[in-house]
Amino acid sequence: MGSSVSAEQPAWAAWAGTATSTAFTLGVEEEAMFVTPRAWNLAGAIDEVLPRLPAEIAAHTSAETHAAAFEIATGVHETVDGAIAQLGELRAALRTTVESCGLATAVAGTHPFAVWRDVAISTGARPALVYGSMRELARREPTFALHVHVGVPDPQDAIRVANAMRVHLPVLLALSANSPFWQGRDTGLASARTPLFQAFPRVGIPRAFADYEDWTSTVDLLVRCEAFPEPTFLWWDVRLQPKLGTIEIRIMDAQTKLETNAALVALVQCLVRLEALEGYAGELATTSSEILDENRFLAARDGARAALIDPQAERRIPLSESLPGLLDACRPHAQDLGCADSLDAVAELVEHPGAARQLEIARGPQRLLGLVSSLADAY
């Protein structure tokens, strides 16, 4: 695999994906939590669990800023089915080790009743850097996201697609919203994770960039001025990963069910291919930050029930009305990518959203304890 970088660009900006075979390959990263059975509170167990993992599982597992959080990452896959199958295998193997420690694992955008006093920071170099930069902001309640990498061989194509994907980010957030609770309260938001994570700097929807050089020069100035140590400290909703040759979509809440992961991953893969080959967003790729930010808030607040601003129609359109057309545009790409069934399942996320399911479970006799128990059972 070659690299692409001009003499004026920093070494970190060398683009890894120049082989045609890397186009639209997938990698999936899932953030999840350790919890204590019966009490169902967060368990700061990463230092206990990591050394016990089999080597082949440990290679795909990493600590996060919070000691109760971890991330599992698949390898590179050609298909959604392959990526989700490995994600399921990693979940199962990790759960076995966690249970041997007397703990459980669960996935949602937030832990429903954790408070900052219960949060411990992970040991290790990167969490220390995050805490040194964020100070006590790093000790806020942990949030959990689903990240999807899609390979794009050429960096100029990658920045063009990333600009276009900005339009689709609120849709992805609305469909993935899976965190209605915070500190034991129903927030009225479908994704409380979104404003919680907003406490960190360098988050949200980035501006459109003129080209790859514009992107690298912007990021490199921040690195050279020691605002942060390296580009992965950019936590934007969509970012480029030069060393991997990918576009990374980071806006989505972590998902409880593997089938929901499959639907969202398929939509992301299809959207990237749609924009790379057709430029579907067109002039919308330059939609103003004000409209994108408002749509992002509406998606976090209302989830799949959101009505998002259409700047061309100059009105808000319910997601249930706008999504079918987007899925129709994606369907030929899903056929080519082998993920048509998973893409078809996206429509079900409007009918049965994750946030609504959590609210329903929490109305049961065990309330939030029953909810976390259910999240753990689904892992």
Q: Residue 206 above 50 pLDDT?
A: yes
Query: What phi and psi, each to the nearest 5 degrees, are found at residue 86?
Result: -70, -40
User: Which three-class secondary structure state does DSSP give residue 107?
Assistant: coil
Helix, strand, coil percent content, the chain, rounded in steps of 5:
50, 15, 30
C-beta of residue 314 within 8 angstroms of C-beta of residue 295: no
Instruction: Supply the pLDDT for residue 3.
Output: 45
Q: Residue 119 above 80 pLDDT?
A: no
Percentage of the chain beyond pLDDT 90 is 83
> Which residues make beta-bridge pairs with 73?
29
C-beta of residue 43 within 8 angstroms of C-beta of residue 103: yes
End-to-end CA, the chain: 36
Q: Residue 126 above 70 pLDDT?
A: no
C-beta of residue 98 within 8 angstroms of C-beta of residue 49: yes
pLDDT by residue (tens digit) across 225-279?
988 888 888 999 999 999 999 999 999 999 999 999 999 999 999 999 999 999 9
Instruction: Supply the pLDDT for residue 128.
Output: 64
C-beta of residue 237 within 8 angstroms of C-beta of residue 250: yes
Instruction: Supply the pLDDT for residue 95.
Output: 95
Residue 365 neighbours by CB under 8 Å, 6+ apart? none
Q: What is the per-residue DSSP string for 40-82?
A: --B---HHHHGGGS-HHHHTTEEE-SBTTEEEEE---BSSHHH
Q: Spell out the domain ranges in the chain.
A: 11-374
State the average pLDDT over residues 88-96. Answer: 96
Neighbours of 276 (CB within 10 A): 22
Instruction: Supply the pLDDT for residue 2.
Output: 41
Percentage of the chain beyond pLDDT 70 is 93
Contacts 24+ apart (CB under 8 A), 308-313: 308/170, 308/171, 308/174, 311/284, 311/287, 312/283, 312/284
C-beta of residue 179 within 8 angstroms of C-beta of residue 44: no
Place of tokens 């002039």: 283
**Measured on CA atoms in the order 27, 176, 299, 186, is the torsion positive or negative?**
negative
User: Which three-class secondary structure state does DSSP give residue 147?
Assistant: strand
State the average pLDDT over residues 93-98. Answer: 96
Question: Which CATH number applies to 11-374: 3.40.47.10, 3.10.129.10, 3.30.590.20, 3.40.50.2300?
Answer: 3.30.590.20
Residue 64 neighbours by CB under 8 Å, 6+ apart? 31, 46, 70, 71, 122, 127, 142
Instruction: Supply the pLDDT for residue 326.
Output: 98
Closest by CA position to 113, among listed 370, 378, 320, 292: 370
Structure tokens at 310: 């259409």
pLDDT by residue (tens digit) across 12-37?
999 997 654 579 999 999 999 999 99
C-beta of residue 16 within 8 angstroms of C-beta of residue 244: yes
